[in-house]
Amino acid sequence: MALLRAIEDATRGVGAIAFPRQTFFLKKIIVLECFAPESYETHHTSHTS
């Protein structure tokens, strides 16, 4: 019982630390996509055409 509780606490701690990092990177990607779509698309389409 104590072992299960320790595992629960450990995994909950890891999730609490990892989750904000994931949302931070997700927000960073969204911001980059929103603020630089023109340069991103022209950069990619210039190679294909």
Q: What is the pLDDT of residues 8-29, one digit of tens each?
A: 766 665 555 666 667 778 788 7
> Considering the entire predicted model, what is its pTM?
0.32
Question: If you average pLDDT over residues 28-42, what whole number do you get?
Answer: 69
Mean pLDDT across the chain:
66
The CA-atom distances, in angstroms, between 34 and each of 2, 29, 30, 45, 48 are: 48, 9, 6, 18, 22
Residue 31 has pLDDT above 70, yes or no: yes
Q: What is the pLDDT of residue 5?
A: 76
pLDDT at 30: 77
Query: What's the one-letter identity of residue 12?
Result: R
